[in-house]
Structure 1
Amino acid sequence: MTAIDAFPLIPRDHLFGNPTRSQGKISPDGKWLSWLAPEGGVMNVWLAPRDDQSAAKVITHSEDRPIPQYLWAPDGKSILYIQDKGGDENYLLYRVDIETLAETTLTPFENTRVDVVGSSVAIKDKILIGLNNRDPQFHDVHLLDLNTGDLTLVLENDSYAGFMADDTLTLRMAMRQNEAGGTDYFRITDNVVEDEPFETTAMEDALTTSPAGYTTDGSVLYWLDSRDRNTAALFAQDTQTGERTLIAEDDKADIGGTIRNRQTGVVEAYSVNYLKSEWTALEPDLKASLDWLGEQLEGEYGISSRTDDNQTWIVWNDPLTASTATYIYDRKAETLTPFYKTRPELEGAPLQPMHPVEIESRDGLTLPSYLTLPAGSDREASGRSDAPVPMVLMVHGGPWARDSYGFSSIHQMLANRGYAVLSVNFRGSTGFGKDFLNAANKQWGLAMHDDLIDAVEWAIAEGIADKDKVAIMGGSYGGYATLAGLTFTPDTFACGVDIVGPSNLETLLSTIPPYWAPMVKIFHERMGNPDTEEGLALLKAASPLYKADKIVKPLLIAQGANDPRVKQAESDQIVGAMKEAGIPVTYVLYPDEGHGFAKPSNNIAFFAIAENFLAECIGGRAEPLGDVLEPSTAEIVEGASHVQGLAA
């Protein structure tokens, strides 16, 4: 019996099933509470009076896909939510009147994706939205009356990637990629875009510089800006004179989120997230509230919703080794009233702490990373396992995204099954300055992959990982990294799990969603331009498809048939190449999913297959499959015999 066997298996559905509640919010006037919770097994919006949660009622009626996101209308008369079909990411906007519970489709169009361009403190019954129903590449800006549903065209767009408005719902700025792969920012006057940009960035700053909104009087424009520096700092720019004032900076990480005054729009606090997220308050009353919360709560915490008078907050608290809890915080009374626990079924489960670590790459970069160890493997609580254990390298998507500190269902499941889990912010990850980000330019399958290999070698050298039992796993870019791991470095990993990962970078770039077209230069400049001989050669060299015959270790691939970002053909291609070369592969297809799996039944089924696949490859524990596939839509296209219990 090994140390892990002394700890119970955490049921898959406790980690990947519907949460009891999530996305708790409070109405602008403080009279109502809202949240997402299951109704008929599907996440829907619920509503209750603040003083009587027992009177809660479900106000939406999605019967198939969970509602992913909702918000209160600024006037507090309705709740707005978005929903797509089958994972196609064509999100439409819906409204539910909180008095009559009547539901309206505010954007009743086909093959259309809505973006919120602007909302207002002063004009509470209207918002600005972008719609690409005229041209799928470009979002035209409309003024939407939330209570009548009337749409008024404000600006017809034929070239811009985005817009920004002020508190009067007046368009002030348009953004467009320039030939260098950077961004040009244009002033808008009377809904006409000026010919020349008033600000511009080069490609090196394009992902680390962006406007962060106006104060409500329009006198100040905030920027997160990395120009002439490495990490993005917070600046305030006078909109009349153009003069800029530095508000905050950090040497290791970009300035991240801000807390703004509800009425004035002035920044009152900012966050920096290097290994952990830390807030700094600039306003005394806000500092007193954040300090008080820090004394009451252990672990990470943050604000998810506030009333218009800013006296009541909905606060979440992630203790990492227990269920995330949400509270109603009365600032004046200094009281925290329990609202709900997201997954109360995890109370008492053997959840493991996440350890922030810094790993050095072969060329001297510091890779901020996160390690979770199996229960019972670290008796000294040193952050290192007592003896080498099997390990899963969990690679994030993007790649222009990042891993962060906090509760992770995937980390907890894998650690509970007996694996160390390592998530690495490889070069190209966001939040750590532009030098770190740009070190990944045209390095897919090259230095970006070297960082992952360096992290594995670090874990082996530290005595954490058993070098013969290391798996690689990830979604989107992480799925690509999995395929790259098994093709470019076929002896490093014992197996791989690829979730919606691209196998052919040339076809990936030729099939991006049409609304990404205004930003296509970001891909060409950072990955390789398929329209040039040199760029095409780079993309082909970095594509695992062309090295599929190098795969010698077990591979599990999962794909959503409706994925608009990484088309099904990306998985079909490499599965076909492996079959042709006589290499075993297991391929799971979800006909009603897109870029990832939204339905809990599908998510649970996937992780059931994945944990049994990993158990067979690197020897951890697994909850038996049982009848987990029955409620899911999973189609086992290839290789059922390669996963224990799947053929049955």
Structure 2
Amino acid sequence: MICACIGAAFAAVAAAAPSASLGEDVDAFGRMPTLRHVSVSPSGNRVAALYRDGGAEEYSFIVFEYGDQFQMRYAGKQNEQFRVSEPHWMRDDRIVFSVRFGAMRHRTDTVETRLMSLDVETGEIIPLFDAEQRQGVAETRGSIAAPVQIQDRIVSLTRQDPDSLLVQYWNGDVYGKINHVYEVDVDRTKRHKRVHKGRDDIYDWKADELGEIRSGWGLEGGKEPRLRMLDSRGKWQDRSRRVAEDAPTFSVLGFPRAPGKAFVASAHETETAALYLYDVDSDRFEEQLFHSPVSDVYGVYQQRGTGEALGVIYAEDESLIHWFGQNFVRDAIDVMERTFPGRAVTLTDLNAEQTHAVFLVDGTNEAGSYYIFDIANRQVTALPTQYPTLEGRAMGAVVRVDYEARDGLSIPAYLTLPPGLSLTDAKDLPFVVMPHGGPTARSFAQFDWRTQFLASRGYGVLQMNFRGSSGYGEAFRKAGDRQWGQAMQDDITDGAEWLVAQGYADGDRLAIMGGSYGGYASLMGVVKTPDLYQCSVAYGAVTDLHALLRDTQRYRGGEYMTRHIGTLWSDRAMHRENSPMLRADAIKVPVLLVHGEDDRVVDVNQSRGMASALKRSGTPHRYVELPAGSHYVDVGDNRMVFLREVGSFLSECLGGPEERADSGAAADPRG
């Protein structure tokens, strides 16, 4: 085992920074996880990752060699503005990665990405797009070059050529915003060779395991879905009827080696989306390969080079795999599961030569660690644990429950209980109801730093997958269409009332808390049911639906992406009725608002406006703006600031451990 020496060497990478006096719970759960984006080089001798120790202000992008001796090959720190993501090994001496940052184009906030290449031997980093490549008709006709906005939409990096990859981007077409596919050299900054001509109605191209472009999805006029697929003769066929708004679920997951075939998820004959082998030539489903009655399929494990389907990913309370026979990936997972019995084993990376894999091993009440697995030698190497200060600490049990909504729909949910309690022991607890974000997403039974923090403070937590959540089939998801603040909100209310009826929760000590859509639901909860909750916590929350639609529809495809919320003008009365900012006078309990200053998903003005509305209505509230904060509470020490504010607020609202400290965050004077 070399975990200790790796951990000691890692600790020297990031400059130490003194920790504020935050209290044991905040300090333990508020630290960012130690590692992210762990991947192994083709030879298996080198590992790349984002690493952050307990005292560092930000992650460092590191590359190290491991084995009998440890050697750091590269270490560079990101900052609060420029965020490194998705490093990909091309060769043992070359890594391609993306840098993300916020910017503005045409007076509109944007997220920009730059595709970079690292020479591991020398530490030199070069951009993979040259200065002549620019995006936008207006910019190309002007005197100032505007670089391609999104440079990291990689279509294929599993090609046999380790010196290049395929990237799709728009490069200033005069007659439209067309995504072509280009071959990008990973060793130098140069002009790119176009290898696939795009179309103005196709936004995203998919390639097979050898890098051949086989399908494309997009929108006609920004509204009507389009799907084009390559048949066995090399001709493109229009299969848009398969993805029409009123058609059953149909999505392309991958391609076998055989031309004119595809692996697709479809719900044309089942309630949940099943996996099929689909024939493009005849527009026919050849064979149903797998179906779960309780879960949509999420993806397919395929053999690199051949495209053979090894297994299919689906979910119950956690992610699961159905295997199509024995194979080396299944063998590796079996070894890891025997090594770590009773814990969740998740494959997160497999190197290009398929000799080494990275696994995350965790549990519902265990933060876990990453492990490198040498497949041939059956050797497991541990990396530093994700939350060192949680080692040996008792966590809350996570229990699957189901309750019935008022119209009879069964709602799956998870209870997280204070450490040491079982469901039979849970009586009259203070509870936090926590709807998830999205809303087209879902909660799983897994380690969650927010719920375990709350459990450590003595609160129970209820997370429900209300109608509109993904993964439970088409009917369940569509039941949430145009139901923001309505049927989806009723499901959340019914869950809170169920807690009290079951005796788990004290009806006089209920709070509601969430982020993004969950933050919206937390505010609507105290608008629609002012006597149910004692307080509300909303972070990164949507508060004005009309403003959300107006702002989102400024972006390409925005009207289509917000269709489940409603239309901008014909539904404006519904949106006024279901916008917390416009209903602030109905809120009678204290509210904590938290928002990242540089949130590029939900504009910070949504919370600033809500704070102003609460002030006008005389509602007790506090508004905290996280400096340089993103939508994901992952910049600097923002997570600690957030938990400290939540812990203090809930202590006042529901009772609990007494602890207050100056957060150092920017509290809006309007609050």
Contact 1:174–1:193 (CA under 8 A) maintained in structure 2: no
Identify if the C-alpha distance between structure 1 residues 638 and 394 changes in structure 2 by more than 3 Å, giving closer, same or farther: farther
1:259 aligns with 2:301: yes
1:231 aligns with 2:268: no
Aligned to 2:323: 281
Contact 1:137–1:518 (CA under 8 A) maintained in structure 2: no
Contact 1:174–1:188 (CA under 8 A) maintained in structure 2: no
Aligned to 1:326: 370
Structure 2 CA distance, aligned partners of 1:133 and 1:470?
53
- What is the letter of the counterpart of residue 269 of structure 1? G
Point out where structure 1 has 5 or more consecutive residues left out of the alignment.
Answer: 1-7, 641-648
Residue of structure 2 aligned with 1:174, choices 195, 216, 233: 216
Structure 1 CA distance, aligned partners of 2:99 and 2:165?
18
Residue of structure 1 aligned with 2:394, choices 345, 350, 372: 350
1:625 aligns with 2:661: yes
1:615 aligns with 2:651: yes
| Deviation digits for residues 507-556 of structure 1 (CA, Å, limit 9, x no counterpart) | 101111754x32522422x2211232xx2222222212221110110011
Residue of structure 2 aligned with 1:523, choices 552, 562, 572: 562
1:509 aligns with 2:546: no
Percent identity over paired residues = 26
Aligned to 2:334: 291
Q: 1:451: Cα distance to partner? A: 0.5
Q: How does 1:29-108 map to 2 (within 5 A)?
A: 29-38=43-52, 40-52=56-68, 54-65=70-81, 67=83, 69-85=85-101, 89-107=111-129
Structure 2 CA distance, aligned partners of 1:239 and 1:80?
34
Identify if the C-alpha distance between structure 1 residues 179 and 254 changes in structure 2 by more than 3 Å, giving closer, same or farther: farther
- What is the letter of the counterpart of residue 309 of structure 2? V
Structure 2 CA distance, aligned partners of 1:265 and 1:574?
51
- Under a length normalisation based on structure 1, what TM-score does the superposition of the two structures give? 0.88
Structure 1 CA distance, aligned partners of 2:41 and 2:235?
36
Contact 1:315–1:327 (CA under 8 A) maintained in structure 2: yes
| Deviation digits for residues 401-436 of structure 1 (CA, Å, limit 9, x no counterpart) | 111111110011000011001111111111110111
Aligned to 1:124: 162
Contact 2:542–2:548 (CA under 8 A) maintained in structure 1: yes
1:307 aligns with 2:343: no
Structure 2 CA distance, aligned partners of 1:194 and 1:258?
24
Residue of structure 1 aligned with 2:262, choices 221, 230, 237: 221
- What is the letter of the counterpart of residue 518 of structure 1? G
1:542 aligns with 2:571: no
Structure 2 CA distance, aligned partners of 1:258 and 1:291?
18
Identify if the C-alpha distance between structure 1 residues 578 and 519 changes in structure 2 by more than 3 Å, giving closer, same or farther: closer
Structure 2 CA distance, aligned partners of 1:295 and 1:182?
49
Q: How does 1:359-438 map to 2 (within 5 A)?
A: 359-376=403-420, 378=421, 381=422, 383-438=423-478
Structure 2 CA distance, aligned partners of 1:283 and 1:69?
34
Structure 2 CA distance, aligned partners of 1:625 and 1:25?
39
Point out where structure 2 has 5 or more consecutive residues left out of the alignment.
Answer: 1-21, 104-109, 131-145
| SS across alignment from 2:345 | strand
| SS across alignment from 1:255 | coil
Residue of structure 2 aligned with 1:481, choices 521, 532, 550: 521
- What is the letter of the counterpart of residue 126 of structure 1? S
- Under a length normalisation based on structure 2, what TM-score does the superposition of the two structures give? 0.85
Q: 1:455: Cα distance to partner? A: 0.8
Aligned to 2:384: 340
Structure 1 CA distance, aligned partners of 2:595 and 2:461?
23
Structure 1 CA distance, aligned partners of 2:51 and 2:377?
29
- What is the letter of the counterpart of residue 30 of structure 1? G
Residue of structure 1 aligned with 2:599, choices 563, 576, 583: 563
- What is the letter of the counterpart of residue 149 of structure 2? T
Residue of structure 2 aligned with 1:200, choices 242, 261, 264: 242
| Deviation digits for residues 472-515 of structure 1 (CA, Å, limit 9, x no counterpart) | 11111011101111111111111111111111111101111754
| Deviation digits for residues 289-321 of structure 1 (CA, Å, limit 9, x no counterpart) | 333332222221111111333232211110333
1:604 aligns with 2:640: yes
Residue of structure 2 aligned with 1:18, choices 7, 29, 32: 32
Q: 1:258: Cα distance to partner? A: 2.6
Q: Which moved more, 1:614-623 or 1:590-599?
A: 590-599
Identify if the C-alpha distance between structure 1 residues 371 and 262 changes in structure 2 by more than 3 Å, giving closer, same or farther: same
Structure 1 CA distance, aligned partners of 2:617 and 2:83?
42
- What is the letter of the counterpart of residue 296 of structure 1? T
Q: Compare relative contact order (CA 8 Å, sep 6+) and give the higher one, 1 or 2.
A: 1
| SS across alignment from 2:497 | helix
How many residue pairs match? The answer is: 618
Identify if the C-alpha distance between structure 1 residues 570 and 281 changes in structure 2 by more than 3 Å, giving closer, same or farther: same
Q: 1:198: Cα distance to partner? A: 5.7
Identify if the C-alpha distance between structure 1 residues 321 and 544 changes in structure 2 by more than 3 Å, giving closer, same or farther: closer
Contact 1:372–1:411 (CA under 8 A) maintained in structure 2: yes
